[in-house]
Amino acid sequence: MYQFAILAFGGLAVWLVGKLLAQHGPDMARASSLVLMCGLGVGYAYLVNYSVFAGWHMAVRNDTIGHIVTGFVVAGVAMLWDEALDFMRAWAGSHNGEAKKSLRRAA
């Protein structure tokens, strides 16, 4: 259970830092935002020296690969936070009488 919480809140931290960097930088496309989140996720995993595989007592041949894959999982959770918070923002806006914002379409 703790491993899930670390992934969820690590993803939230990566999402927040990614949004702050994207806000103060040039207008970013969706693909470059994904690359930024992946880089930040791997950086987060190295910074806190965290591997989800070690937390689940799973053997990984190389610790570096464990950190990199954990960083990609954290980046995926960060993108999930992005979509969930956009959905909640649109839902709250529709119930508060604000103009409806269309949600992003997949593909």
pLDDT, tens digit, for every residue of 16-36? 998 888 877 777 676 777 888
Angle at 21 between CA 17 and CA 26, to 5 degrees: 155
The pLDDT of residue 53:
86
The pLDDT of residue 74:
94
Query: Which whole number is the average pLDDT over 71-99?
Result: 84
C-alpha to C-alpha distance for 77 and 85, rounded to whole angstroms: 12
Is the separation of the CB atoms in 69 and 6 below 8 Å?
no
Radius of gyration of the chain from its Cα atoms, rounded to whole angstroms: 16
> What is the enclosing helix (H) or strand (E) of 18?
helix 2-24
Residue type at 9 in one-letter notation? F
Residue type at 107 in one-letter notation? A
Residue 96 scores a pLDDT above 90: no
